[in-house]
Amino acid sequence: MHSLIRYSLAATAVLSMAGGVSARPSAPREGQLGQQNRIERPAAVGGGGGGGAEAKVANAKALYFLTNDEDNAIAAIELGDNGLVTGKGATYQTGGKGANGIDGATNEKAAPDALFSQSALTVAGKHIFAVNAGSNTLSMFAIDPNNPLALQKVGEDIQLPGEFPNTVAASEKNGLVCVGMTGQKAGVACADFSAEGGLGQADGLREFQLNQTTPPVGPTNTVSQVFWSADESQLLATVKGDPEKGNNGFFSAYAQQQQEGGNQADQAKAGKFRVSQEEIRSTPGGTAVLFGSVAIPGTQDVLATDASFGVAILNEKQQQKQYAAAARLELPNQKATCWATISPLTNTAFVTDVGRNMLIEVGYNANANGNGNGEGGEQGELSLLNEIDLSSIGGPDLGLIDLRAAGEFVYALSPGAGTGEEAAINVIHAGTKQFVQNARLTGVGAGKNSMGMAVYV
């Protein structure tokens, strides 16, 4: 298959790519670059918004997302040494089915944001995990570190005990992968995994009583994300409320447990870790529609988006083991701030809004010990640093969903805003806040249902 990917590099250029499609392909076919404008790397990366000191960081080698169509597939996109999309990519069928939630405002299939979630796929070590919302299964692939475009299916998909899986978190340290489900049977389930044996059997459903349907009606009153705390000692989950019904949603925490003695590396290899069935549930004051979140490095705190106002810092009360909102930041003119990432270059957060073609940079100070980006001295401080307007790109990019920061850059997925156009990856330099690249993904067959974002560094 040979087709075009269109680029905007602060102007427009064209290149070609080829992508193989197979459940268990050996390696993707490489496309040939067409004529394109020269890419100018930012001359300086200092300053650019008042974040902390910028570190030397390695750029990612590849990024991945789900097509989430009926025949679900992982799209793998190559990144060059300079961190930009090269034009080479491939798709790998998971063997499962994608699906769409139902938009409560229109009673039609939801798109964009078909799954109402962050992290529909995730990378842990040299493996990638993907949910299949239409078949209630989880898939696992191995990544070739010498060619991150080459994915290989590991074992068989596993059946999950709930319905409409829409978010996944994996821990190489613990040898565990956990899935959030938001259909009629909603909740969280986990399984062990290994490079040799693939996925183990899913454990029992840690149930959420959401009174949902399959597919779910959303985006409110649905599971948003499962993810690990920064030290991977807790599995965390955000669940959206419905303010119109007086439901504020909640934040759940489950402890990682060790089943037998031995060091952690041996325990993980032997599948001796598990996630507790006991839920510690919090309803952080001032929050209502908790969505995408990211664990703040070096702390037990979480930076979470809330579609009802903007961004919050949630931190754990040590005695009660519950999470409370230590800070809130209302974002002006927001429509639905739902996805979040933290840049290792700037130690600042970036969030996206499905209703606005804009990337928002947020400064945070997670605690009084100085973890964070040096923006403030008080515990839980948040500040609006930059609004990076991407509306000049043009085309169908009317809003951004899942995003990841890696190396010098932030990568944000635009699924075409439901216009029937192809999906695109927007690349922004985290230090200079400069828009660098808009890669249209015609060659991988990705459109408005696309979800998730993961990177291999």
Tens of pLDDT along 187-216?
Answer: 999 999 999 999 999 999 999 999 999 999
Q: pLDDT per residue over 101-146, tens digit each?
A: 999 999 999 999 999 999 999 999 999 999 999 999 999 999 999 9
Whether 123 and 148 have beta carbons less than 8 Å apart is answered as no
Going across the sheet that includes 322-330, the strands are 290-295, 302-306, 310-317, 322-330
Using one digit for the tens of pLDDT, what is the confidence trace for 263-299?
Answer: 555 555 555 789 999 999 999 999 999 999 999 999 9
**Nearest residue to 296 via CA among 177, 381, 179, 399:** 381
Domain 67-264+273-456 fold is: Methylamine Dehydrogenase; Chain H (2.130.10)
Instruction: Work out the average pLDDT over 209-235.
Output: 97
| Closest to 355 (Cα-Cα) out of 290, 263, 417 | 417
Pairing type for strands 121-124 and 102-103 reads unpaired
Chain segment 55-98, per-residue pLDDT in tens: 689 999 999 999 999 999 999 999 999 999 999 999 999 999 99
3-state class (DSSP) for residue 264: helix
- Decide if pLDDT at 43 tops 80: no
Cα 266 to Cα 74, 272, 273, 392: the distances in Å are 31, 8, 10, 52
